[in-house]
Amino acid sequence: MQSDTLKKILKQIQDGNISIDDAMNKLKNFPYEDIGFAKLDTHRSIRNGFPEVIFCKGKTNEQIVAIFQSLINSNDLIIGTLATQENFDSVVKNFPNAQFHKKARIIQLGKTPPSKTDKIITVITGGTSDIPYAEEAAITAETMGNKVIRLYDIGVAGIHRMLDNKNILDDSNVIIAAAGMEGALASVVSGLVACPVIGLPTSVGYGASFEGLSALLAMLNSCAPGIAVVNIDNGFGAGYMASVINLQGVHC
Amino acid sequence: MQSDTLKKILKQIQDGNISIDDAMNKLKNFPYEDIGFAKLDTHRSIRNGFPEVIFCKGKTNEQIVAIFQSLINSNDLIIGTLATQENFDSVVKNFPNAQFHKKARIIQLGKTPPSKTDKIITVITGGTSDIPYAEEAAITAETMGNKVIRLYDIGVAGIHRMLDNKNILDDSNVIIAAAGMEGALASVVSGLVACPVIGLPTSVGYGASFEGLSALLAMLNSCAPGIAVVNIDNGFGAGYMASVINLQGVHC
Amino acid sequence: MQSDTLKKILKQIQDGNISIDDAMNKLKNFPYEDIGFAKLDTHRSIRNGFPEVIFCKGKTNEQIVAIFQSLINSNDLIIGTLATQENFDSVVKNFPNAQFHKKARIIQLGKTPPSKTDKIITVITGGTSDIPYAEEAAITAETMGNKVIRLYDIGVAGIHRMLDNKNILDDSNVIIAAAGMEGALASVVSGLVACPVIGLPTSVGYGASFEGLSALLAMLNSCAPGIAVVNIDNGFGAGYMASVINLQGVHC
Amino acid sequence: MQSDTLKKILKQIQDGNISIDDAMNKLKNFPYEDIGFAKLDTHRSIRNGFPEVIFCKGKTNEQIVAIFQSLINSNDLIIGTLATQENFDSVVKNFPNAQFHKKARIIQLGKTPPSKTDKIITVITGGTSDIPYAEEAAITAETMGNKVIRLYDIGVAGIHRMLDNKNILDDSNVIIAAAGMEGALASVVSGLVACPVIGLPTSVGYGASFEGLSALLAMLNSCAPGIAVVNIDNGFGAGYMASVINLQGVHC
Amino acid sequence: MQSDTLKKILKQIQDGNISIDDAMNKLKNFPYEDIGFAKLDTHRSIRNGFPEVIFCKGKTNEQIVAIFQSLINSNDLIIGTLATQENFDSVVKNFPNAQFHKKARIIQLGKTPPSKTDKIITVITGGTSDIPYAEEAAITAETMGNKVIRLYDIGVAGIHRMLDNKNILDDSNVIIAAAGMEGALASVVSGLVACPVIGLPTSVGYGASFEGLSALLAMLNSCAPGIAVVNIDNGFGAGYMASVINLQGVHC
Amino acid sequence: MQSDTLKKILKQIQDGNISIDDAMNKLKNFPYEDIGFAKLDTHRSIRNGFPEVIFCKGKTNEQIVAIFQSLINSNDLIIGTLATQENFDSVVKNFPNAQFHKKARIIQLGKTPPSKTDKIITVITGGTSDIPYAEEAAITAETMGNKVIRLYDIGVAGIHRMLDNKNILDDSNVIIAAAGMEGALASVVSGLVACPVIGLPTSVGYGASFEGLSALLAMLNSCAPGIAVVNIDNGFGAGYMASVINLQGVHC
Amino acid sequence: MQSDTLKKILKQIQDGNISIDDAMNKLKNFPYEDIGFAKLDTHRSIRNGFPEVIFCKGKTNEQIVAIFQSLINSNDLIIGTLATQENFDSVVKNFPNAQFHKKARIIQLGKTPPSKTDKIITVITGGTSDIPYAEEAAITAETMGNKVIRLYDIGVAGIHRMLDNKNILDDSNVIIAAAGMEGALASVVSGLVACPVIGLPTSVGYGASFEGLSALLAMLNSCAPGIAVVNIDNGFGAGYMASVINLQGVHC
Amino acid sequence: MQSDTLKKILKQIQDGNISIDDAMNKLKNFPYEDIGFAKLDTHRSIRNGFPEVIFCKGKTNEQIVAIFQSLINSNDLIIGTLATQENFDSVVKNFPNAQFHKKARIIQLGKTPPSKTDKIITVITGGTSDIPYAEEAAITAETMGNKVIRLYDIGVAGIHRMLDNKNILDDSNVIIAAAGMEGALASVVSGLVACPVIGLPTSVGYGASFEGLSALLAMLNSCAPGIAVVNIDNGFGAGYMASVINLQGVHC
C-alpha cells in the first residue's frame, strides 16, 4: 500500500532526514490517486450495504462463477444481472443457495436485506411484455433495501386501469414506468402524481418502434414534468436510480 | 378532343366503312387515357362539392392569384393551404371577398357549404401550440361539408382535461388528435372511444422531438387500435381523411 | 366492490346519519375510477360483438392457452394474433375447434360472425410477399363482421394490374393498401378512388428499405390525400381501423 | 359547478325523494371527471407552493401578458420559461416588478420563496456554452424552493476541475449535469458521487453532435448507474425533476 | 375476356342496334384498362427476349418450383434471383437442366442467349466480399444478352489496381461499380471514364457502415458526375439497369 | 511542361548519351502522372463539346466572375450551376451576353449547341414545386447537346395525367423522373416504359419527408427495375447522367 | 495556493507539532486534486509553447475581448477559433496587432512560432469549398509550431490531380484530408502513402450528404488502414491531432 | 511484364528505328500504371516488415488456407483478422505452427518481430466486454513491431481506476481507448495526457447504444482535442493507425 510510502516520507520529515522542499517535490510526484482512492473509497462506503452487481451478459459461465467466488467472502449479497438459465445452472452447482429470478434474469446470492425505509417504489408497466424489464427494476430495488409494489399491464389503451390504481400511485415515493410501443404510460402517470417518475422505455413493439426508440423519444418528450429517463430495456438502471432517490436521507 | 376521333371510328362501323376487326385494332391503339380520363372524371365528380385546393407553399403571389383566377368560374369554393399573410394580401386585392383563416393559414374564396351530415368530427390538441395544425384540419373539414367541434389543450399532462370532455368524444364520428412532444394524446383518446382516430403528429416540442419524429413514432406505435396517422404537421391531410370517412354514405 | 361502499354512504344520508357536506367530502375522496369504470364499461360495450384479441408474440404457449381458457366462457369469438404454428399446436390440443389462419398468423376460436354491413373492405398488396400482413388485416376485419375482398400482387411495377381492377376499387368502402419497398401502391390507389385508404407499410424489401422505413415514409408523404397510415407490418391495426370505419352507423 | 348537481342528488336521497338504487344509477352516469377533478385538485394542491409556469415559446407577447394577468391574483409566484427579451419588455410594461433572468431565459413575477429544505441541488456544466440551460434548471429549482449551487465549466477535458470540487459534489442531494458534445460529464460525475444525477444533454457542439443527439445517447448509455436523463436543452425539466426529488419528505 | 365485350358493342353499332351516343357512353364506362392492357402489352413485348425473373427470397420451395413450371412453356429462359442452395435442389429435381450460379445466387433454366450487342458492360468490385452482388449483376446482364467483363478486387485502398485496368474501363459502354465500406470505388472510376457508371453499394463492412448505408450515401454524393445508384446489395437491379442502357438502339 | 523533360530523356537515348537501363530508371522515377495526365486528357477530350461547369454555390461573386474569365477563351460554352440572381448580376456586368435560366438557377455563357442526336431525354415531375430541379436537369442536358421534352406536374395523385402522355414516354430514350414527397413517380413510370429511368428525388414536401429522404428511399426501393437514382435535388447530376447515356454511340 | 497549506502541514510534522497519524488523516482529507493539479500542470507544461485557444462561437464580443485580455500577459500566442469578422473587429480595437485568418475563421494574437520540427504536415482538400476547414487545420498546426503544405482541390473526381502530387504526399509526416460529399479523398490518399492520415469530413455537399454525415461515414469505413477521423468540420481538432503526432519526440 | 515493352521502345529509339515524336506518342498510350506500379511498389516497400493481413470474415476455410499458402513463401509473418475457431482449426491442420489469439480473433503464422522502437502504445478499455476489440488492436500493433501495454477495465464509472494508472498513460507514445456505451473513456484520457489518442468505439452496450453509434458519436465530439476515431469495433484499424504513428522516424 502506498499508504506506507506516504508514512515513510512523513517520518523522514519528522526525523529531519528530509527538507520540506524535498518532501514537497516527492509528494508532487506521489501518485495522488492513492490518496484520492481513500477519498473515493469513502464514497464507495457510503453506498455500503448495496449488493455487488455482476453484469453476466457477454461473460462465460466460468467467468461468472469465478467472480461470484471472489466476491462471496466480503459481501452479504451479490446479484448477477442479464443472466441466462444456463448462467444460473453453472452458478447454482457451486452455490446451492443461489436463487434465480427468471423473469428478471437476475441471479441472487445472499438474502434480500430488510427494507431500509417505508417509502415505496412502485413499478408499473404498460403491458405484459414489459414485465421482464420491470422485474429487473423491481428486484434491483428490493435487493438494495426498498419496498416495491408492482402494478403491471395498466397501459393507456385502457386508461381506467391506471385510474383505478390512483391511490397506490399517490402513495408511492418513486414510480418506475416501463413501457414499449408509444411509451405514453410515463407521460400519463407523470401528469397524475406528485412524486418523481423514472421512465423505462422497452423494446416491446414492432415495426416503427425501432427496438424501443419510439418509447424512448416519447418519454424524453413528455409534456408532463417530473420525469427522467433511462436507457432502453435498462431495468437495472431504473431500479438503481429509483433506489438512490428513495434511500435519500437514509444513507447520507 | 379525342372524343371526336372515337365518334368517327364508331361512325365508320355504323356506316359499314370499316370491319369490326379493323375497329378493334384502331381502338387498341386509341389512346386509352382519353376514355380513361372520362372515367377518372366520374371519379372526380364523385368528390364533387369538395373545394378546389391550392397548395400555396412554394408558389409566388402571382402564381397563387393566377390559379384562383382560373378556378373561380367553375368552382363555388376554393381554398389555399399553407398560405402566408403576404399571400393573402395579394389574393384579397383581386378578390375582395376572400377571407383568411390566419391560424389555419388557409385562404378561402367562396362560402363554406352547409354541413352534409350531422355526424361530427372532433379536433383535439394536446397543447396550444398544436392549434395551427388543428385549425388547418378543422377548416379543411368544414369547407368539405362537415360539422367540427374543437377541443384544444387537453393533453395528457392533465388527463382530467380529456376525461372531463368524454361525452363530447363519445358523440364524435371521427376524432383528429393533434399533438407534438410525446404524442400520447392519440393513444389515450383512442383507448377511450369507439370511433376512428386520425393521429396528427406536430413538430411542436424541442430537443429529441426531432421536429415531430417523436410524436409520429408514438402515434404509429399506439397500443390502442382504431388509429391511423398522417404526416407531421399535415393538418390538411388529417382534415381531408376525416372528411372522407365522415361523409361515407353521403356521397356514394 | 366499491359499489357497496358507495351504497353504504348513500344509505347513511338516507338514514340521516350523515350530513350532505360530510357525504360530499367522502365522495370527493371516493375513488372516482370505480364510477368511471362503469362509464368506460359502456364504452367497451359499444364495441361488443368484436372478438377478444390476444397478442401471442412474446407469450409462452402456456400463457396463451390460459388466456384462451379464461376468455372462452364470456366470448363467442377469440382471436390470437402473431401466433406461430407451435402456439397453435398447444391451443388446438385444448380446443379442438380452434382453427389456424397460417398465412395471417391468427388463431381463431369461435365462428366468424355474419357480416354486419354490405359495405366492402378491399385489401390490396403490391407483391406476394406482402400477403401475410394483408391476410392478418383481412382476417381481423372479417372476424369483426366485415365483407372483405382481396386483390393481391397488383403493385405499381405493372400499373395495369391495378387499373384492371378499378371497378372493384371503386365499389370499396375502405381500402387497405399493403406494400413494402417504395410503398407507392398506397399513393397511386388513393389517387384513383374516393373512399378512405389505410396505408399498411410492410418490411418487405432489402437494402435501403430499412425494414419498412422506406414504405412507411412514402405512405406518410403521399401526394394524394385521403390516406392515413398504420405501423409497419401491423396488419391487425390496419384491419381494426378499417373495420371501425366500415362499421360506422352500424354500431353507434 | 357540478358540485351543485351532486349536492342536489344527495339532498334528494336525504329528503327521501329518490331511492338509493336510482341515486346509484344517476351517480354512475354522473360525470366522474368532476369528482375526479376534485381529487386531481388535491393532487395539484400537493404541489402547492410551486410557481405557476408559462411556456413562452410559440406564444405572442399579448398572450403571455394575458396569462400573467389571469394568474396574478391567485399565485404568489409565476415564471415564464423560454422567454425572449422582447417577451420580457412586454411583460414588464404591465408588471413593473417582473424581473428577467436573461441567461436562463426566464421571466419571474413574485418573490423566490425561502428554501424549503437545506438539501442542496448542484448544477454543473461541461463548458460555458451549456450555462443557459444550466441556469434555466437552477432558476427553476430555486423558484420551487431549493438551495442551488452552480459549478460551471468543469468538463472532462480537464478532469481535475471536477475533482477539485469533489466535496461540493459529495454534499449535494441531487446533481444536474448539463453537457453537450460527448456528454461525458454525466457519466464521470455519476461515478464519483452517491446521490442521484439528472443528465441534461445540450445541443452545444457541432458536426456529428447532431444538435445534442450525441450527448443524449452518451448520457443514456452511462456505464455508471444512478443517473436518468431529460430531453435535450430541457433545463426546466431537469430543474423540476431535481426539485421533485429534493423536496421529497418536505411535501408529502 | 373483355375483348369479347368490346366486339359485342361494336357489332351492335354495325347492326344498327345501338346509337353512337349510347355506344360512346358504354365505352366510357368500358374498363379502359383492357384496351390499355393491350397497349401496355406492346410495351412488354418491346422487352421480349429478356428472361422471366422470379424473386425466390420469401417464397417456399414449392412455390418456386410451381412458378418455374408455369413459365416453362412460354419462355426460353427463366432466372430465379436471391435463391438458396436448398431452393436450387428443389428446382433441379424437377428440371434436371437447371443450373445454379452459386455465388450470384441465381437459378437459371434455359440457355443464356447470344449477346445482342458488342458493347461491353464491365462489372468491378472494391473487394472480394462484394463479388456475390457483382456476380448477380453480371449474370443478370448476361442472361439479358450482354457481354460482361469482370474486374474484381480493384478497390481504392490500392489505386494502382484500378489504374492498371484503365484501358478495359475505357472500352466499356456501361460500368457497374460494386463496393461496400466507404464506396469510393464508384466516385473514382466515374472520374476516370466517359461512360455511365451504375453504383451498386453493398452491405460489406462493419460498424459504422450500417449495413451499406455508408457506401450508399457515398455513391449518391459522388463528386464526379455520370453516376447513378441502385439499392444496397441489389445486383439484379444494377445488372438490369446496365442492360437497359447497353441495349439501347438494339431494341427500339 | 514535363513533356519536355520526357523528350529530353528520349533524346539522350537517341543520342546515345544514356543507356537504356539508366533511362528505365529515370522513367521509373519520372512522375507517371504526367504521362498519365496525357492519357486522362484524351479521356477528357472524349467529352469534348460538353460545357465547362462552375458550381457557383459557396463561391463569391468575384470568384465566379474570375472563373468565367479564365474559361472564356478556350470554351464555346460555360455554365454555372446553383447560381443566384445576385451571382448572375455580377456575371452579366462583365459578360453582357450571359443569360440566366432563373428557374434552373443556371448561368449560361455561349450558345447551346445543336443537338447531337435525335434521341430524346424526357424530364417529368410529380408537381410544380419539383420544377426547379427538373429545369436544372433539362438545361444541363440541353447544353450537353440533347433534345429534351418536359412533362411537368403529372404525379401519381392523378395517375391519368401520366397515362395521357404514355406515347411521349414511350418515345423517350432516357427519362428523368423528379419527385419529392413519396417519390412514387419514378416507380410508376419505370413500370410503364422500356427505357432507362433516372430517379431525381427532391426535397419537396414537409414533415416526414425529411428533406427528400422519403423520396430518395422510395426511388432506391422501386419494385420496377430499370431505374437508378441520383442525390436529392441534384438536377445537374441527373441531367449529366441522362446525357452520358443518351449520347452513347455519338461520342465513342 | 494549497501548496502553502501542504507546506504548513509538513512544517508541523517537522516541528513535531503534529503526529504522523494526524498528518496522514489531514492529508487524506487534503484535497488530492491540488496535488493532482500540480501533476496535471506538468502535463500541461509538456504542451507548453502551444497557443492558448479560445472557442469564439457562442461567446459575445465582450466575452472574447475579456478572455484575450486575461490571457495576454502570460501567453506569447493566443488564437480564437470559429471567429466572425465582427468578433475580430472587436478584438482588433483593443489589440491592434491582432490579425485575422479570414478563411480559417481564426483570430491570432502574437507571432506564429518558428517551426519546431522539419517534418511536414500536408493538408489536402477535395474541392475549393472544403478550404475554410482545411485552413482552420493548417493555421492551427502552424501556430503549434509545424511546417504545413497545402494541396487544395485535388479530389477524386480527377484522380490525376492527386497522383500529380504524389511526391509531396510521400514526403509528408502527417496528412490531413478534408473532404465533403462522398469523402473518398481520405481513403484514396491513405492507400497511396505510408504516413498517418487524419480524415476531416466536411459538411460540403447537399441532399443526401446530410450535412457531412456521408463523408464522415465514408472516412470511418475506409478500406485502407492508417486513417482516423475527427468530427465534421472540426478543422481545429484535425490540426491539433496532426500536430500532436508530428511533434512527438520534439516535446517528450 | 510491361517493363519489357518499355525497354523495347527505348531500344527502338536507341537504334534509330523510331523517331522521338513517335516514341512520345507510344509512351503517351503506354499504360502509365506499369511505371506507376513500380513507384507505388516503393511505397509498399516502405511498409516492408509489416505483416501481411488476411481479413477472414466472409471467406471460406478453404479460401483462407489457400491465401495463407500463397503468402507463406514471401512473408515472415502473416496474420488473419476476424477469424473464428473453425477458421483456425482449418489453418492449423496445414500449418502446425500457426497460433490463435482467441480473444483477439487473430490467426498468426510466423513470429512476432522484435519491437522496432522503445516507444509504447497503451491500449485501455472501459470494461471487460471491450477486451476482444482491444486485443485485436494490441496484437495488430505487436505484430507490426510495437511494445504494447494493456490497461483494461478502467472506465469512467470509477474514475480513480484511470487516475491510478496516470504514470503509465503519461509514459505512452500513443493511446488506444476502446469503449462502448457512452464512450467517455476517450475524452477523459485525452484530457489527461499529451500524446495522441485513437478512439476505438465498440458495440458494447444495449438499447440506445445502437450497436456502437453512441460511443462513436461521443468520441467524435470529444471536448478534449488530440483524439481521432476509427470505425466501431475496428480493433485492427486502431492498432494499425497507432502503429503507423508510433513507428514514425523508424521507417522513413
User: How do the pLDDT tens digits run along chain D, 252 residues long?
Assistant: 344 556 777 788 888 888 877 776 666 444 333 333 333 333 333 344 577 788 888 788 988 898 888 778 777 889 999 999 999 999 999 999 999 999 999 999 999 989 999 999 999 999 888 999 999 999 999 999 999 999 998 888 777 778 878 889 989 999 999 999 989 999 899 988 889 999 999 998 888 888 899 999 999 998 888 999 999 999 999 999 999 999 987 743
CB distance G175 to E188 below 8 Å: no
The answer to whether the Cβ–Cβ distance between C13 and D10 falls below 8 Å is yes
Q: Does A224 touch chain D (CB under 8 A)?
A: no
User: pLDDT tens digits, residue range A5-56?
Assistant: 567 777 888 888 888 777 766 664 443 333 333 233 333 333 445 777 888 8
Higher pLDDT, G11 or C185: C185
Q: Do G154 and G216 fall within a single domain? A: yes
Of the three residues B86, B109, B132, the one that is the final residue of a domain is B109
Q: Do D105 and D124 fall within a single domain? A: no
At least 3 CB pairs under 8 A between chains B and G: no
Task: Report the Cα–Cα distance between both ends of chain C, in Å, rounded.
Answer: 30
Reference B157, options B180, B134, B175; nearest CA is B180
The answer to whether the Cβ–Cβ distance between D173 and A248 falls below 8 Å is yes
Q: What is the pTM of this model?
A: 0.84
CATH code for the domain in which residue D129 is found: 3.40.50.1970
Taking residues C213-235, report their average pLDDT. 93
Q: Do D32 and D99 fall within a single domain? A: yes
CB distance H207 to A231 below 8 Å: yes
Q: Does B163 touch chain D (CB under 8 A)?
A: yes
Chain G residue numbers with beta carbons less than 8 Å from the beta carbon of F31 are 164, 166-167
The answer to whether the Cβ–Cβ distance between G221 and H230 falls below 8 Å is no
Q: Quote the DSSP letter at residue D50.
A: B
The answer to whether the Cβ–Cβ distance between D35 and C28 falls below 8 Å is yes
Taking residues B24-48, report their average pLDDT. 40
Chain E residue numbers with beta carbons less than 8 Å from the beta carbon of G127 are 223
Q: What nine digits make up the cell of C142? A: 372479417
The nearest CA of chain D is from the CA of H151 a distance in Å of 18
The answer to whether the Cβ–Cβ distance between A230 and D220 falls below 8 Å is yes
* Pairing relationship of beta strands C120-125 and C147-151 according to DSSP bridges: parallel
The answer to whether the Cβ–Cβ distance between A217 and B213 falls below 8 Å is yes
pLDDT at D224: 84
Taking residues G14-32, report their average pLDDT. 65
d(CA G215, CA C62): 52
Distances (CA, A) of A46 to A173, A244, D58, F10: 22, 11, 46, 85
Q: Quote the DSSP letter at residue D48.
A: B
The answer to whether the Cβ–Cβ distance between D166 and A194 falls below 8 Å is no
- Name the pLDDT band for C27 (thresholds 50, 70, 90): low
The answer to whether the Cβ–Cβ distance between G159 and E155 falls below 8 Å is no
**Mind giving me the DSSP string for chain E?**
-HHHHHHHHHHHHHTTSS-HHHHHHHHHHS-HHHHHHHHHHHHHHHTTTSPEEEE-TT--HHHHHHHHHHHTTT-S-EEEES--HHHHHHHHHH-TT-EEETTTTEEEESPPPPPS-S-EEEEEESSGGGHHHHHHHHHHHHHTT-EEEEE-S--GGGHHHHHTTHHHHHT-SEEEEEE-TT-HHHHHHHHH-SS-EEEEE---S-GGGGGGHHHHHHHHT-SSSSEEE--TT-HHHHHHHHHHHHTTTT--
CB distance C163 to E36 below 8 Å: yes
Reference A248, options A101, A146, A178; nearest CA is A146
Identify which of D3, D23, D35 has the shortest CB distance to residue C10: D23
Reference H219, options H251, H241, H197; nearest CA is H197
Of the three residues A76, A109, A142, the one that is the final residue of a domain is A109
pLDDT at B27: 61
What is the strand order of the sheet D106-109 is part of? D52-55, D78-81, D106-109, D99-101
Q: Do H53 and H166 fall within a single domain? A: no
Chain D residue numbers with beta carbons less than 8 Å from the beta carbon of C2 are none
The nearest CA of chain G is from the CA of E131 a distance in Å of 16
In the complex, which subunits touch H with 3 or more CB pairs below 8 angstroms?
A: A, D, E, F, G
Reference B63, options F19, D250, F131, H230; nearest CA is F131
d(CA C95, CA E198): 57
User: pLDDT tens digits, residue range F113-153?
Assistant: 899 999 999 999 998 889 999 999 999 999 999 999 999 98
pLDDT at E14: 81
Residue G201 resides in a domain: yes
The answer to whether the Cβ–Cβ distance between A39 and G32 falls below 8 Å is yes
d(CA A140, CA A238): 9
Chain E residue numbers with beta carbons less than 8 Å from the beta carbon of C204 are 58
Identify which of D187, D208, D223 has the shortest CB distance to residue H221: D208
Q: What are phi and psi of B101, to 5 degrees?
A: -85, 90
**Mind giving me the DSSP string for C79-126?**
EEES--HHHHHHHHHH-TT-EEETTTTEEEESPPPPPS-S-EEEEEES
Q: Do C195 and C235 fall within a single domain? A: yes
d(CA B85, CA D195): 53
Chain C residue numbers with beta carbons less than 8 Å from the beta carbon of A207 are 201, 203, 212, 216, 231-234
Chain G residue numbers with beta carbons less than 8 Å from the beta carbon of H230 are 220, 227-229
- Residue ranges of alpha helices (H) inside F47-165 are 61-71, 85-94, 131-143, 160-163
d(CA C189, CA C225): 11
Q: What nine digits make up the cell of B23? A: 375497329
d(CA C240, CA H241): 56
The answer to whether the Cβ–Cβ distance between D220 and H214 falls below 8 Å is yes
Chain G residue numbers with beta carbons less than 8 Å from the beta carbon of F213 are 208
Q: How many residues does chain A have?
A: 252
Q: Residues 29 to 88 of C: which have CB under 8 A from any A CB?
A: 31-34, 36-37, 40, 55, 57-59
Q: Is the predicted pLDDT of residue E189 greater than 50, yes or no?
A: yes
pLDDT at H160: 75
Q: Do H71 and H135 fall within a single domain? A: no
pLDDT at B149: 96
User: pLDDT tens digits, residue range H73-92?
Assistant: 777 889 999 999 999 999 99
**Mind giving me the DSSP string for B75-139?**
-S-EEEES--HHHHHHHHHH-TT-EEETTTTEEEESPPPPPS-S-EEEEEESSSTTHHHHHHHHH
Residue D115 resides in a domain: no
Interchain CB contacts (distance < 8 Å): B and E: 54
User: pLDDT tens digits, residue range B174-207?
Assistant: 999 999 998 999 989 998 888 999 999 999 888 8
The answer to whether the Cβ–Cβ distance between E226 and F244 falls below 8 Å is yes
Of the three residues H42, H75, H109, the one that is the final residue of a domain is H109
**Single-letter amino acid, residue E189:** V
The answer to whether the Cβ–Cβ distance between E234 and C206 falls below 8 Å is yes
The dihedral of CA B15, B16, B18, B21: what is its sign? positive
The answer to whether the Cβ–Cβ distance between F221 and C213 falls below 8 Å is no
d(CA H228, CA F202): 35
pLDDT at H30: 42
Residue B40 resides in a domain: yes
Which among D156, D188, D203 is the top mutation candidate for probing chain H, defined by the most H β-carbons within 10 Å of its own β-carbon?
Answer: D156
Residue G251 resides in a domain: no
- Name the pLDDT band for C52 (thresholds 50, 70, 90): confident
The nearest CA of chain F is from the CA of C209 a distance in Å of 6
CA angle at residue E66 from E60 to E70, to 5 degrees? 150
User: pLDDT tens digits, residue range E67-101?
Assistant: 888 888 777 889 999 999 999 999 999 999 999 99
The answer to whether the Cβ–Cβ distance between G159 and E192 falls below 8 Å is yes
Q: Is the predicted pLDDT of residue C42 greater than 50, yes or no?
A: no
Low-confidence ranges of chain H (pLDDT < 50): 1-3, 28-48, 251-252
The answer to whether the Cβ–Cβ distance between C231 and A207 falls below 8 Å is yes
Beta bridge partners of D52: D78
Provide the greatest CA pair distance for chain H: 80
Q: Do D89 and D126 fall within a single domain? A: no
Q: What are phi and psi of A121, to 5 degrees?
A: -100, 125
- pLDDT digits (tens), chain A, 252 positions: 344 556 777 788 888 888 877 776 666 444 333 333 323 333 333 344 577 788 888 788 988 898 888 778 777 889 999 999 999 999 999 999 999 999 999 999 999 989 999 999 999 999 888 999 999 999 999 999 999 999 998 888 777 778 878 889 989 999 999 999 989 999 899 988 889 999 999 998 888 888 899 999 999 998 888 999 999 999 999 999 999 999 987 743
Chain E residue numbers with beta carbons less than 8 Å from the beta carbon of C207 are 201, 203, 212, 216, 231-234
The answer to whether the Cβ–Cβ distance between H35 and F27 falls below 8 Å is yes
* Pairing relationship of beta strands B78-81 and B52-55 according to DSSP bridges: parallel
Q: What percent of chain B has pLDDT over 70?
A: 85
Q: Does H128 touch chain A (CB under 8 A)?
A: yes
Identify which of G57, G58, G233 has the shortest CB distance to residue D207: G233
d(CA A144, CA A48): 10
| Closest residue in D to G59 (Cα–Cα) | D129
Q: Residues 92 to 121 of C: which have CB under 8 A from any B CB?
A: 119
The dihedral of CA H137, H142, H146, H147: what is its sign? positive
pLDDT at H191: 85
Q: Does H171 touch chain A (CB under 8 A)?
A: no
Residue F127 resides in a domain: yes
Q: Do F54 and F132 fall within a single domain? A: no
Reference D219, options D83, D126, D137, D141; nearest CA is D126
Chain D residue numbers with beta carbons less than 8 Å from the beta carbon of C10 are 10, 13, 20, 23-24
Beta bridge partners of H109: H78
CB distance B225 to B199 below 8 Å: no
User: pLDDT tens digits, residue range B231-245?
Assistant: 999 999 999 999 999
Least confident of B98-112, C152-166, C203-217, F170-184: C152-166
Q: Does E220 touch chain F (CB under 8 A)?
A: yes
Q: Do H131 and H103 fall within a single domain? A: no
The answer to whether the Cβ–Cβ distance between B32 and F158 falls below 8 Å is no
Residue G252 resides in a domain: no
Q: Do G164 and G195 fall within a single domain? A: yes
Domain that holds residue H94: 2-109
The count of structural domains within chain D is 2
Q: Do G74 and G128 fall within a single domain? A: no
Buried b (16+ CB within 10 A) or exposed e, G118-145: ebbbbbbbbbbbbbbbbbbbbbbbbbbb
pLDDT at C129: 86
Higher pLDDT, C191 or B220: B220
Q: Is the predicted pLDDT of residue F64 greater than 50, yes or no?
A: yes
At least 3 CB pairs under 8 A between chains A and C: yes
User: pLDDT tens digits, residue range G44-53?
Assistant: 333 445 777 8
User: pLDDT tens digits, residue range C111-167?
Assistant: 998 999 999 999 999 988 899 999 999 999 999 999 999 999 888 877 777 887 888
CB distance B121 to B149 below 8 Å: yes
Tell me the ipTM for this assembly.
0.80
User: pLDDT tens digits, residue range B69-123?
Assistant: 878 877 788 999 999 999 999 999 999 999 999 999 999 999 998 999 999 999 9
Identify which of A43, A192, A221 has the shortest CB distance to residue D192: A43
Chain B residue numbers with beta carbons less than 8 Å from the beta carbon of C38 are none
d(CA E218, CA F231): 10
Residue D135 resides in a domain: yes
Q: Is the predicted pLDDT of residue F102 greater than 90, yes or no?
A: yes
Q: Do G236 and G132 fall within a single domain? A: yes
Identify which of H37, H58, H232 has the shortest CB distance to residue E207: H232
Q: What percent of chain F has pLDDT over 90?
A: 50
The answer to whether the Cβ–Cβ distance between A207 and B214 falls below 8 Å is no
Reference E217, options E193, E187, E174; nearest CA is E187
Q: Does C192 touch chain F (CB under 8 A)?
A: yes
Q: Is the predicted pLDDT of residue E42 greater than 50, yes or no?
A: no
The answer to whether the Cβ–Cβ distance between F206 and B234 falls below 8 Å is yes
Residue A115 resides in a domain: no
Chain B residue numbers with beta carbons less than 8 Å from the beta carbon of F204 are 58
Q: Is the predicted pLDDT of residue B45 greater than 50, yes or no?
A: no
**Single-letter amino acid, residue A167:** N
**Residues 6 or more apart whose Cβ sits within 8 Å of residue G240:** G140, G141, G144, H225, H226
Chain A residue numbers with beta carbons less than 8 Å from the beta carbon of G38 are 28
d(CA D31, CA D19): 20
CB distance C121 to C176 below 8 Å: yes
